[in-house]
């Protein structure tokens, strides 16, 4: 009897240790702090100041309160967003390095340039913030009052019109090239280093047209220094309700907009992605944030991570087609 007991004792003790180990692991898991447990870095792929930086800081402020940890904006300009994108892609996939992606980093640039990152494979889409439409504007001295008159004028005077852009491969460039193709018109492209100098020459009459964001154009439209003829997107903007959409005017497919969203490195844990998406959408639903963004001609567009991933893929495909049709490739 005694020998049997001593033979069974090691088995019993082993079983006891296994059970205790499981209980300790479960207890540790239950007590493990949930994400996030430290500040989150939100990279803005531009220099401080300007629209994207303002959006990044507005989101960071609200998200900090909602998520319970500081969300700190770090500006990382250069390379049209490539430097910031590469840094984000190489960061640990732990949810503590995020980036404000936009149409440049995850739309137009991947469509026309060879980049040091893959806009699809190297990132985890978390959620959309929103978008502001682009608007076709012309110098107010032109004898043109409507989009139809603009197309007619361009066809009758193919050597008289030029348009400025913020640079080759930007949304202001590809959007106008899409319009030229759809309307069957010709205009000379004059690229600038940024939208500021492009506006300077448009206002001076050195160029005649431009395709900027509505937010950037509103001060000039409202003071009659330029004339807005049509906006992109599915419906008119509440910030400029008198300007029709291209769709209203019979030109479908003009859905390209200056959009902004949040991404992280590839392979972020699903629980972290779900947490961030939920908290981001709470920010978008807050009345004060919505009011602020609406005043800047932005339409908030809450999405699931899957919806945002599909949006990015469709936007790259949109601009890749324009680039192919217009033989645009930038080294």
* CATH number of the domain that residue 268 is part of: 3.40.190.150
pLDDT the model gives residue 51: 87
Where are the alpha helices (H) located in 168-304, listed in sequence order? 171-183, 195-204, 214-222, 270-285, 287-294
Do both 122 and 78 map to the same domain?
yes
Number of domains in the chain: 3
* H helix and E strand count, the chain: 12, 11
- Asked if residue 249 belongs to a domain, the reply is no
pLDDT of residue 28: 39
In a domain? residue 11: yes
* Residue 47 is assigned to a structural domain of this protein: yes
CA nearest 108: which of 165, 44, 185?
A: 165
Contact (Cβ atoms closer than 8 angstroms) between residue 101 and residue 261 = yes
CATH of the domain at 193: 3.40.190.10
93 within some domain: yes
Task: Tell me if 253 is assigned to some domain.
Answer: no
Residue 161 shares a structural domain with residue 121: no
Task: Give residue 158's pLDDT.
Answer: 82
Q: pLDDT digits over 294-328, tens only?
A: 888 999 999 999 999 999 999 999 999 999 999 99
Please tell me whether residues 144 and 227 are part of one structural domain.
yes
For 223-233, write each residue's pLDDT tens digit.
Answer: 999 999 999 99
- Parts of the chain with a pLDDT under 70: 1-32
Residue 209 lies in a domain: yes
Range of the domain at 69: 40-132+259-325
- Distance between CA atoms of 302 and 230, rounded to whole angstroms? 25
Sheet arrangement for strand 299-300: 71-75, 40-44, 97-102, 257-265, 123-133, 299-300
Residues 212 and 280 in one domain: no
Tell me, yes or no, whether 254 lies in a domain.
Answer: no
Read off the pLDDT of residues 161-194 as tens digits, 9 standing for 90 and up.
Answer: 999 999 999 999 999 999 999 999 999 999 998 8
Q: Cα(147)–Cα(142) distance, rounded to whole angstroms? A: 12
Distance in angstroms (rounded) separating the CA atoms of residues 54 and 64: 15
Do residues 10 and 51 share a domain?
Answer: no
Q: Say whether both 147 and 214 belong to one domain.
A: yes
Please state, in angstroms and rounded to a whole number, the distance separating the CA atoms of residues 124 and 51.
23
Verify that 118 and 141 share a domain, yes or no: no
What pLDDT is recorded for position 237? 93
What string of DSSP letters covers 23-61? HHHHHHHHHSPPSPSS-EEEEESS-SSSHHHHHHHHHHH
267-260-39-295 Cα dihedral, nearest 10 degrees: -160
215 and 141 in a single domain? The answer is yes
Which helix (DSSP H) or strand (DSSP E) does residue 112 occupy? helix 109-112
Residue 246 lies in a domain: no
Residues 181 and 221 in one domain: yes
- Residue 137 · residue 221 · CB < 8 Å: yes
Radius of gyration of the chain (CA): 26
């Amino acid at each position: 009897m005694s020998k049997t007991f001593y033979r069974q004792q090691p088995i019993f003790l082993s079983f006891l240790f296994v059970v205790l180990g499981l209980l300790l692991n479960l207890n540790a898991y239950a007590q493990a702090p949930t994400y996030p447990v430290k500040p989150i870095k939100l990279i803005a792929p531009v220099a401080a100041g300007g629209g994207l930086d303002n959006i990044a800081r507005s989101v960071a402020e609200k998200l900090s309160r909602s998520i319970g940890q500081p969300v700190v904006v770090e500006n990382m300009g250069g390379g049209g967003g490539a430097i910031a994108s590469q840094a984000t892609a190489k960061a640990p996939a732990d949810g503590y390095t995020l980036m404000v992606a936009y149409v440049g980093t995850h739309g137009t640039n991947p469509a026309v340039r060879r980049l040091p990152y893959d806009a699809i494979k190297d990132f985890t889409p978390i959620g959309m913030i929103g978008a502001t439409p682009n608007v076709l504007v012309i110098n107010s001295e032109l004898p043109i009052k409507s989009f139809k008159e603009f197309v007619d004028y361009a066809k009758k005077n193919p050597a008289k019109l030029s348009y400025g852009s913020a640079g080759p491969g930007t949304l202001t460039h590809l959007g106008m090239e899409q319009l030229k193709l759809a309307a069957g018109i010709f205009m000379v492209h004059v690229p600038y280093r940024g939208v500021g100098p492009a506006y300077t020459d448009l206002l001076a009459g050195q160029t005649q047209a431009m395709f900027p964001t509505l937010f950037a154009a509103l001060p000039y439209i409202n003071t009659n220094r330029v004339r807005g003829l049509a906006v992109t997107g599915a419906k008119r903007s509440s910030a400029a309700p008198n300007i029709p959409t291209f769709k209203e005017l019979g030109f479908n497919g003009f859905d390209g907009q200056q959009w902004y969203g949040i991404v992280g490195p590839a392979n972020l844990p699903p629980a972290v992605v779900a947490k961030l998406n939920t908290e981001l959408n709470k920010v978008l639903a807050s009345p004060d944030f919505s009011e602020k963004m609406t005043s800047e001609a932005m339409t908030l567009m809450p999405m699931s991570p899957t919806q945002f991933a599909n949006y990015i893929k469709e936007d790259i495909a949109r601009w890749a087609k324009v680039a192919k049709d217009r033989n645009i490739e930038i080294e």
